[in-house]
Structure formats: C-alpha cells, structure tokens
Amino acid sequence: MVIMRPLAVLRHDLPASLVVFLVAVPLSLGIALASGAPVAAGLVAAVVGGVVAGALGGSALQVSGPAAGLTVVMAETIDTFGWAVTCAITVAAGACQILLGLSRIARAALAISPAIVHGMLAGIGVTIVLGQLHVVLGGKAQSSAVQNIAELPGQIVAHHDSAAIIGLLTIAILLLWPKLPAAVRKVPGPLAAIAAATVVSVAFGMTLPRVELPGDVLDIGLVPRLPDGGWGAFALAVVTIALIASVESLLSAVAVDKMHTGRRANLDRELVGQGAANMVSGALGGLPVTGVIVRSSTNVTAGARTRASAVLHGVWVLLFVVLLAGLIQSIPLAALAGLLVHVGAKLVNPGHIKTVLAHGDLPVYLLTLAGVVVFDLLTGVLAGIGLALVLMLRRTLWSGIHVEREGDGWRVVVEGVLTFLSVPRLSKVLGTIPSGVPVRLELVVDYLDHAAFESLTTWQQAHERAGGTVEVDEVGHPWFGEGKAGRPTRSRLHASRAVPRWLAPWSEWQATEGIPTQQTRNGATEFHRRTAPLLKNTLSGLADGQRPRTLFITCGDSRIVPNLITTSGPGDLFTIRNIGNLVPPGQADPSMNASIEFAVGVLGVEEIVVCGHSGCGAMAALVDGPPPGPLSVWLRHAEPSAHRLGAATLDGAVPAREGDRLALHNVLQQLDHLREYPSVAAAEAAGKLQLTGMYFAVGTAQVHLFDPAERTFRPAGAPVAVPGA
C-alpha cells in the first residue's frame, strides 16, 4: 500500500516526476529500438515500471523501466523465440523474481564482484555502440558484435544520407549539453537532443525511417504465447533475464541508497515489486523492467521524497503516449540510435576501470567485457565469475614467502594462508638457505594445514641436524607451536584470538624467563622490525618538537600503560609517573613543579588527567603504615587523601578493599592540589584547561572517569558532566 503525504507530493515529487518523465520517454523508445522489439514495448515497460514497480518496490526513490543492460539479451531472445514467446519469457522471469524476493535471498546478489557488474555494463555499452553506429550512419545493425565490427569500416566510408546527419546531430547535442549554462540544462539532454533532431528532420523535409506505433496504442491484447517446443532454451532464457534484471535492480537500489538520507531499500521487497512489474509488462506486450540508475539518479537529484514520483512519472508517460502518439511517430530512428550510442558509451565508465585496476580486478573486468561482446551476456558474466573465483582462491590460499640475509644468518617470512598449495614454493625457498646457518622463521599466517606443518617440521629437523639453528617466531595464533606440542589447531574457528605484541606482555610471546636483559633486547628488536616502519612517518613529524594535548599523571605501577588505556600514540601524552600518582601539596616537590609548569605554561596542554588504579601498592602501604625510609617520606604527601571526607564511589558503589577506596579519594585530592598552582588555576578559569579524574580497574581492564555531577567514577563511554558546561 502506498501512503503519500499530499504536501510532499506537490512540493517535491510532482516536479521530480515530470523531469524523470522527460528523460524516460526518449530512452524507452531507444532501448526498444536497440532490442529489436516493437517501439511501443518500451513505452509499455516505462509505464508499468513506474506505476507497478514504483508502488510495490522496496526502494522508494528508485525508478524502473526498460534498461540498456538487457538490450543484448532481449535482442537474442526476440531473434530466437519471436516477440510473443519473448513476452511469455518476461512474465515467467517476473514470477521467478517474486519467488527470489519471497525467499529472502536478495542480498546474495551483492556477493557478485563489482568488476563483473561493471564489465557486464561496459560490454553491453560496447555492443550497443557497435550496433547503433550503423543506424546512425544510415545503415542497418548486424546480428552480432563481431559482424558489426567487421562491417563498420565499410559503413564509415560509405555514402551517408540524411539519417547520418540526424544521428550525428543528436550525438553532438548530447556531448555539448553538459557544457551549456545551468538554466538551459534544466531541460534534460536526451529530450533536447531528440526534440532538436526531430524538428530539423521535419523542417527540412527529410525522408528517413521514423518511429512506428500501432494505430491504437492502448489496443494491446494478450500478447504472450508459450513456445511449441525447445523448453530447455525457454527455461534458460527465463532464468537469464530474471537474474540479470534482479542483479541490475538490486545494484541500482544500493547505489540510490547512497544518494539520499531517507529510508534504506528493502531489497527483498524490491525484487517482489520488480517481479510483479515484469509479469504485468510481459502480459501487456512490454519489455522487461529493471531499476535504472540513470532515471533513479535523476529522480533523487530533482528532489523526490517519496515513491509518488516514480508512480507519477509512469502516469505521465501513459498520458503522453495516448495524447501525443502522432508526435512520437515524427521521431527519426537515427536520432534514437544517436541517443543509444551516447548511452552505450557512458556505460564504459573510465572511473570504474580505474577502480577495478586499483583493486587488482582488471582481468575480471576485461574478460567479462570481452565475453559479452564476442559471445553473449550470460557467457561473459559466467566467465567473469569463474575468473573472480580463481583470483579469490589464489589470494586466499596463496602465501607470501620471502627470504633475506640477516647478519650472519637468514630470515624467512611467511605471510597469509599456508596450505598444501604453497608447499612446493615453500620447499623451493627453504632449499636456497645454506646448511649450518642460524635461521629465523617468522610465521605471520592466518591458517597452517597439515601438509605445510609437516613440510616445515621436516625442514627444521634436517636443518638442525646439519648444524644450523631454527628460531620459529609466530606472530598471531601459534599454529606451528600448537602442532609441535601435539595439539594442532584444526580450523580458524578454533584458533585463539592473538593479542598484538605491542599490547601483550613479554611473558606471552617471549620464552626467555630468567634472562631479563634478553627480554628487553628481544622487545627492542621486535619494535625495530615491525613497529618502527609503521611509526616512522608519525615520529618524523615530531622530530623537531612535541605538541601534546594532555598532561597525564599516574602511578609508576608496571600494570598501568597510559598510551594503552587511552588508545593514544607518540606525541599525545606528556606523562609524569611516581609512586601513588601524587601531586605534593603546597608545591613541595621541585620536579613536579617544573613538570606541571612546563606542560601548562610552555606546551599549553588542554587537559590534565590524574589516573589512579586498583590494587595500588602505595595506597595499601598508606593504609597499613609504610616502613621507615624514602617511601614513608614520599607517602606523607598522600596523607590529605587519607583524611578526605565523604565517600568516593565507583559507578555508585563503594569498593570492597580499603586501598581501592583510598585510591579513589587520592585521585580527587590530587586534582585539588593541582588547582593550587597559579598557572593551572588561571588556565582552568579561562576555560583553556580541563582537569579529569581517572581510575583504572586492573582486573577488569575497565577505565572509569570522574563524573562531577554524580560525584562518582563512571565507566568510560558513559556521559560525564564537564565542570562549567
């Protein structure tokens, strides 16, 4: 059921529908001509596509009608079966589309590679251009693209009559139209070109083929007829048209969604609506209907808001055919051919070629295009799908393997998926490594199968027997290590999620217990190999100075990693760490004084964070009484926190451990100490500096921020009141 708001229809949809109507009429006539169908069939499809698909479809702003993408298939189908059986094929294809929509598999069409879709459209465009150029030059299109290519040189040098003048005039107007002033371009280019060509042909009394319509356009009758035999070919044609029409409609609907901010398309409902339109169009003697991006984009650009625009455009086409059929019959076929040459050429989009080239899918695009032009659309699409699957398997299963010298040893890096398909190349690369040398084998793999595991194990054992050493370094899930331990991982589903090494402690990825200096050395080496290349550009921009936004004061506890819990990087935090994250009252510590004054006065930080944490040893010592010595002297600065009144809570609850309760009080107390600094107080009063209290719960890896309004530390992500806001 279509629900339309009258005001929206009058203000937005009515004008938009008129613009789309002006674009649809010449395109519908031209597509019917290129398909070899009765010219009236294109107009019937335009009316039905607008009214039926517009009312029932799942994309409110998509406009449907006869599409250039089906011209090649329709020409072959009409040539094979005749027009009456072709109409029956259109009805059956519509029924298939309805079944596909009801089965809710519409989104499966989105799995088709864009390179195939763009290659298909380009192939259709080339085929249309090759055929219609003959008509533009006063000749007749041949039965295949290859024959059109073979005959084109002779057609070019042949004698050209008035048809060639009209066809070339149409193309020239279409090429020049986008360069004209905006006021002129309010008239759609296709309409202007066809109108101008028609006026010229009539004014100069040119004798040339023109559009032919039946005496009574509305007297269509029941056109469809089932074939007398050849049901296999009939079924293949039905499936082909249904699939192509469905894919084109769905991709067009997705593209239209990107052009507006309204409700997203229901793709399953869109298929049902397209199927219903095709059943009606075929029954009335019309061409197949699809969602058409040219008309749909025009609809959105013209300001349409609801599906009323698509429906009304179909009504205008119907009224135009009924009231102005004589005007349509004045249009030269050469003018429509010129329009189709322009449309076909635009289907070969250079932007699409650049995109598929950048993604490495140019072979798929070219194979699909060539298949459509040389053979037929279905062959081209199937060839493109086959090549896309081969490339996908190669990218998924092929491993990156390379070897290089590293000091006195060798470094072998294996990346990607390591399976039996890569074993021959892996064995060849490993065979180039001399015997008796140290080897570092880095496995950065997403999966390692049994064959690859056996190959690596056999080579490692042989290399070590020959006097060499092999250090296996697995970045990610330990596929190889688990296999050697007798616990091989069977699939990616059972692989544990590996923590990146820059987030994981040494104990999780280094087997160097008892050799702390080796751990540091290994960590620095890991940074040099993998992290430094990623940070080089960032650090080069910081080489001449720092510009941090935040002063971060926290505890020296090894479990607190400021950049980790704030997801920050080099140059973001100016960090001060001490026992208990203290800011001594009365500016009693020269080191702290210098750091704060430098951060606020020189660096101009915009925020100061004081971060406490659970399980703080300093707070526990303060509760129990610290032993005599430097620690006891330092913790005297925390005594104001111990005497602080009130209850500090963690998301409304009081922590069970006294040390954690004191850690919360301590954060708030240090914020008060910060406000004793003149530079801090002045910057905060001027709105240039914000003080933030933070608490990190180590056991749950949860960051809490102080909410001044609720007087509690709340989990990060929850709304936090900003003082003075």
Is the same domain home to 491 and 551?
Answer: no
Residues forming beta bridges with residue 705, ordered by sequence position: 694, 714
Q: Which residues of 578-615 are buried (b: 16+ CB within 10 A; e: fewer)?
A: bbbbbbbbeeebeebeebbeebbeebebeebbbbbbbb
Distance CA 275, CA 53 (A): 8
Residue of 307, 616, 660, 665 with catalytic role: 616
Is the same domain home to 336 and 482?
Answer: no
Distance CA 631, CA 81 (A): 96
Say whether 219 is catalytic: no
- Which of 321, 349, 377 represents a domain boundary (last residue)? 349
Residue of 305, 307, 501, 613 with catalytic role: 613
Residues forming beta bridges with residue 439, ordered by sequence position: 410, 470
Distance CA 226, CA 221 (A): 15
Residues forming beta bridges with residue 58, ordered by sequence position: none
Residues 608/692, Cβ–Cβ less than 8 Å: yes
Residue of 557, 611, 661, 704 with catalytic role: 557
600 residue type, one letter? V
Is the same domain home to 296 and 440?
Answer: no
Does residue 580 fall inside a structural domain? yes
Is the same domain home to 564 and 440?
Answer: no
Does residue 596 fall inside a structural domain? yes
Cα dihedral sign for 36, 42, 43, 44?
positive
48's tokens: 């039905």
Is the same domain home to 407 and 262?
Answer: no
Is the same domain home to 484 and 569?
Answer: no
Transcribe 23-46 into DSSP letters: HHHHHHHHHHHHHTS-HHHHHHHH
Say whether 376 is catalytic: no
Distances (CA, A) of 630 to 415, 510, 547, 586, 595: 52, 35, 34, 19, 21
Say whether 555 is catalytic: yes
376 labelled as ligand-binding?
no
616 labelled as ligand-binding?
yes
Distance CA 26, CA 590 (A): 84
Cα dihedral sign for 287, 291, 293, 294?
positive
557 labelled as ligand-binding?
yes
Residues 102/322, Cβ–Cβ less than 8 Å: no
Say whether 268 is catalytic: no
Does residue 512 fall inside a structural domain? no
Is the same domain home to 307 and 427?
Answer: no
Helices (H), 442-599: 450-465, 479-484, 516-526, 532-540, 562-565, 590-597
Distance CA 115, CA 383 (A): 12
627 residue type, one letter? P
Is the same domain home to 164 and 26?
Answer: yes
Q: Which residues of 421-457 are buried (b: 16+ CB within 10 A; e: fewer)?
A: bbbeebeeebeebeeebebbbbbbbebbbeebbebbe
Q: What angle do CA 301, 248, 244 make, to 5 degrees?
A: 160
Distance CA 90, CA 87 (A): 5
Does residue 406 fall inside a structural domain? yes
Q: Is 496 exposed, middle or buried (0-12, 13-18, 19+ CB in 10 A)?
A: exposed
Looking at residue 534, its pLDDT comes to 79
Does residue 380 fall inside a structural domain? no
Q: Could you list the mean pLDDT of each consecutive 10-residue stretch along the chain, which spans 725 residues?
A: 54 81 82 87 94 94 88 89 94 95 81 82 84 83 80 81 89 92 84 89 88 64 80 93 88 80 88 96 94 82 85 92 80 85 84 89 93 82 90 79 88 88 89 92 88 93 93 83 83 72 72 65 78 84 90 96 93 96 92 95 96 95 88 92 82 90 95 95 94 95 92 80 46
Distance CA 288, CA 89 (A): 9
- How many other CB atoms sit within 10 Å of the CB of residue 707? 18
Is the same domain home to 643 and 705?
Answer: yes
Residue of 87, 96, 555, 611 with catalytic role: 555
Distances (CA, A) of 103 to 96, 199, 240, 267, 498: 11, 50, 18, 11, 39
Does residue 373 fall inside a structural domain? no
Say whether 96 is catalytic: no
Does residue 534 fall inside a structural domain? no
CATH of residue 492: 3.30.750.24
Residues 71/292, Cβ–Cβ less than 8 Å: no
User: How many helices and strands (H and E) does the chain possess?
Assistant: 32, 13
Longest dimension (CA), the chain: 115
Cα 69–chain centre separation: 24
Does residue 539 fall inside a structural domain? no
Distances (CA, A) of 534 to 100, 528, 529, 538: 47, 10, 10, 8
- Which of 474, 498, 522 represents a domain boundary (last residue)? 498
Three-class secondary structure of residue 406 per DSSP: strand
CATH of residue 555: 3.40.1050.10
Q: What angle do CA 396, 399, 401 make, to 5 degrees?
A: 165
Residues 64/289, Cβ–Cβ less than 8 Å: yes
Three-class secondary structure of residue 264 per DSSP: coil
- How many other CB atoms sit within 10 Å of the CB of residue 543? 7
Distance CA 691, CA 671 (A): 7
Task: Tell me the residue range of the domain where 694 lies.
Answer: 546-715
Distance CA 716, CA 718 (A): 6
Is the same domain home to 556 and 481?
Answer: no
Residue of 528, 547, 559, 711 with catalytic role: 559
Residue appearing with tokens 């190349």: 425
Domain count, the chain: 3
Cα 673–chain centre separation: 50
Looking at residue 516, its pLDDT comes to 61
Helices (H), 491-638: 516-526, 532-540, 562-565, 590-597, 617-624, 630-635
Is the same domain home to 423 and 555?
Answer: no
Is the same domain home to 406 and 320?
Answer: no
